[in-house]
Amino acid sequence: MVFPTNTRYDTLYSYRHPQRRREWIAHIQAGAIFVADSNPDDEQRECENKAAALARAIDLAESSFLEIPEVTTPRINNVLE
C-alpha cells in the first residue's frame, strides 16, 4: 500500500522486511444527501455502514500483505453525540 505524504510517497510496509511494519492512521469519512423524504436515522445508519465497509476493506488489504492476528472491524464511534 502506498499513502501520499506531502510531496513524496512512502510505503506502509517494507516488503523485504515485514518486521519493519509502521503504524498508520486512516481517517475515514462518509456522507449522505438529504432529500425531502429522507429519514435522518436511516441516513446516519447508511453513513456508518459506508465507513464500516471502508474500515473492513483496509483490514482485508492489510491482512493480505502480512500475517497478523485475527482481523476485526474497528468500532466506529458516533461523532455526532
Query: Mind giving me the DSSP string for the chain?
Result: -EEEETTEEEESS-SS-GGG---------------TT--HHHHHHHHHHHHHHHHHHHHHHHHHHS--S---PPPPP-TT-
User: For all residues of the chain together, what is the average pLDDT?
Assistant: 70
Give 16-55 pLDDT, tens digit per residue.
555 555 566 778 888 888 899 999 999 999 999 999 998 8
